[in-house]
Amino acid sequence: MSFDTLGLHDSLLKALAETGYTEPTTVQAQAIPAALAGGDLMVSSSTGSGKTASFVLPALMRVLAARAAAPLPGPQSDSARPDRRRPAHGRGDGGPRAGAPGAGAGPRILVLVPTRELAIQVAQATASYGRHVRGLRVATIVGGVPYGAQLQALRGPLDVLIATPGRLIDHMASGRARLDQVELLVLDEADRMLDMGFIEPIQHIAAATPATRQTVMFSATFAGFVGRLAGDLLKSPQRIDVASHTEAHADIEQRLHWVDDRDHKNAILDHILTERSVEQAVVFTSTQRDADWLADRLADMGHHVASLHGGHPQGRRNRVLQGLRNRQLRILVATDVAARGIDVPTISHVINYGLPMKEEDYVHRIGRTGRAGRSGLAVTLAERRDSGMVHRIQRYTTQRIPAATIAGLEPKVAEARTGPRPGIRPGARPGGPRGRTGGRPGFGHRPQRP
């Protein structure tokens, strides 16, 4: 399978080849032709499977089609001269566009994402795959940064707008963001946006776009509210379900260490982080305070480390991510929201120092490693009181996380090594069928560890 067969323009194929992509991922092979056909899509596919290109490439095809219909003025053309007058729309199509002063024509493509980091990542991918699209105009509208540059971007002509819902709503309220030219609306990580309370902003934003638009929605799940939102926003969507959260993360080895207390946890963490196999690691904590505290502790030990969480100003967050990308940092200590969308292929380890609040977040966390065809190791450090969440994660992924120990750092409570299994003891049920091997349906076998 090669990209040539998907119906993409030569300029995009060229950019993909330059990026080093030789063949589409499974979700790309399915979603790109479906999106090019123009219908609505609901897509679920595991993290790291290449969803970004699945919507960015069809989006760029729309930009190319628009360019073919109305080419940009060339450098020699009269209309390229600076001209402060409002451009004429003299084709009886309603004349000059209305809207607040300073509102531009509005984007053809609108991509909604849950976080700033993800917005930046999608913008980078768009610029990269669109590097041969002449005069491609991409803007991001995200919270936590000054309004000035965003207003500037909204004033000019725009092809692709990538936005977090909250800040986009602000710009809509002031009349600065016009969405009546949107041909394609993309919702990336829709489940996450709903978790963050963005359901009303999303509905409001979608209502401001033309009803004739194409809508493509990505979500880990289409259960519950996400499914209802999909019902509201999508017109007889095609469903593409490449790999659900229950799919084994083939490139990610998972391990579980039961720990007695915080000291024991720190000792295991220190042991893992000093291993040579750790190229770069993301250590997740449950709270912002823990992230700062742990980063300080690891820095004191001589690690190249920084913390990343939503309490930090955007400038700092950008610098930290840059430091991770250019390998000045070996360890990142992060909270869930902040780590969303981090795409650094050299992350070899994900360590769950504090467990996530939601089982979905476990899947998103471990997806920070094992990217772009590399393998990764995801280690969870769990105290006894975390056993409920460990079970919920295992039920959610329908996979057992194999328990492991480190020589000299075994947990004191022997039972904890494979995790407590309350109420389930093979053969304990009176009158139960004798031949049954125990264990719960849907789970793998207990690991044969001592």
Q: Distance between CA 267 and CA 328 in Å, rounded?
A: 24
The listed partner (ligand ADP, Mg ion, none) that binds 50, CB under 5 to 8 Å by sort, is ligand ADP
β-strand partners of 305: 331
Residue 172 or residue 281: which is nearer to ligand ADP going by CB?
281
What's the min distance (Å) between Cβ of 4 and ligand ADP?
13
Choose the binding region for Mg ion from 48-56, 61-69, 93-101, 407-415 (rule: CB under 5 A). 48-56
Annotate 356-367 with b (16+ C-beta within 10 A) or e (fewer): beebbbbbbbbb
What's the min distance (Å) between Cβ of 77 and ligand ADP?
36
The listed partner (Mg ion, ligand ADP, none) that binds 345, CB under 5 to 8 Å by sort, is ligand ADP
The listed partner (ligand ADP, Mg ion, none) that binds 399, CB under 5 to 8 Å by sort, is none
What's the min distance (Å) between Cβ of 391 and Mg ion?
28
What's the min distance (Å) between Cβ of 127 and ligand ADP?
13
Residue 51 or residue 349: which is nearer to Mg ion going by CB?
51
- CA neighbor of 50 nearest in space, from 34, 26, 22: 26
- CA neighbor of 202 nearest in space, from 233, 237, 247, 156: 233
Terminal alpha carbon distance of the chain: 45
How would you classify residue 244: left for phi > 0, otherwise alpha for psi between -120 and 50, otherwise beta? beta
Enumerate the H helices of 303-355 as residue ranges: 314-325, 336-339
Residue 363 or residue 379: which is nearer to Mg ion going by CB?
363
Is 51 an interacting residue with respect to Mg ion (CB under 5 A)? yes
Task: List, edge to edge, every strand of the sheet that includes 214-218.
Answer: 138-141, 160-163, 109-112, 184-187, 214-218, 41-44, 238-241
Q: Distance between CA 127 and CA 125 in Å, rounded?
A: 5
Is 137 an interacting residue with respect to Mg ion (CB under 5 A)? no
Task: Give yes or no for a contact between 214 and 42, defined as CB atoms under 8 angstroms apart.
Answer: no
Residue 43 or residue 403: which is nearer to Mg ion going by CB?
43
Enumerate the H helices of 130-256 as residue ranges: 147-155, 165-173, 190-195, 199-207, 224-233
Residue 111 or residue 382: which is nearer to Mg ion going by CB?
111
The listed partner (ligand ADP, Mg ion, none) that binds 115, CB under 5 to 8 Å by sort, is none
What's the min distance (Å) between Cβ of 6 and Mg ion?
19
Strands 252-259 and 376-383: parallel
The listed partner (Mg ion, ligand ADP, none) that binds 53, CB under 5 to 8 Å by sort, is ligand ADP
What's the min distance (Å) between Cβ of 371 and ligand ADP?
5
Size of the site for Mg ion (CB under 5 A): 1
What's the min distance (Å) between Cβ of 218 and Mg ion?
7
What's the min distance (Å) between Cβ of 180 and ligand ADP?
28
How big is the chain by its Cα radius of gyration, in Å?
25
The listed partner (ligand ADP, Mg ion, none) that binds 312, CB under 5 to 8 Å by sort, is none
The dihedrals phi and psi of 443, each to the nearest 5 degrees, come to -110, 155
Interface residues toward ligand ADP, by CB under 6 A: 21, 24-25, 28, 45, 47-53, 343, 345, 371-372
User: DSSP character for 403?
Assistant: B
The CB-nearest residue to Mg ion is 51
Residue 109 or residue 403: which is nearer to ligand ADP going by CB?
109
Q: Could you list the residues that contact Mg ion (CB under 5 A)?
A: 51
